């Protein structure tokens, strides 16, 4: 009788676990997440190109 109760309890627990996984909201990445990912990346910067002609002006 003890094993029958244990089996029934495990069936109920498995059902609850399946319901939680099935009802979980899917993960969504909105624009704020994409902005955050872009902000934490390394960015290269270059100086401004200046042209010098004649006497350095």
Residue 43: CB atoms within 10 A of its CB come to 6
The model's confidence at residue 24, banded by pLDDT at 50, 70 and 90, is low
Structure tokens at 57: 């002006």
User: pLDDT band at residue 55, thresholds of 50, 70 and 90?
Assistant: low
Above 60 in pLDDT, residue 46? Answer: yes
- CA–CA distance, 18 with 24 (Å, rounded to integer): 10
Q: What are the helix and strand counts (H, E) for the chain? A: 2, 0
pTM over 0.85: no
């Amino acid at each position: 009788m003890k094993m029958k109760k244990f089996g029934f309890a495990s069936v109920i627990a498995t059902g609850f676990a399946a319901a939680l996984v099935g009802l979980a909201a899917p993960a969504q990445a909105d624009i704020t997440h994409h902005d955050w990912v872009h902000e934490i990346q390394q960015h290269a910067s270059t100086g401004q190109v200046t042209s010098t002609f004649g006497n350095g002006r």
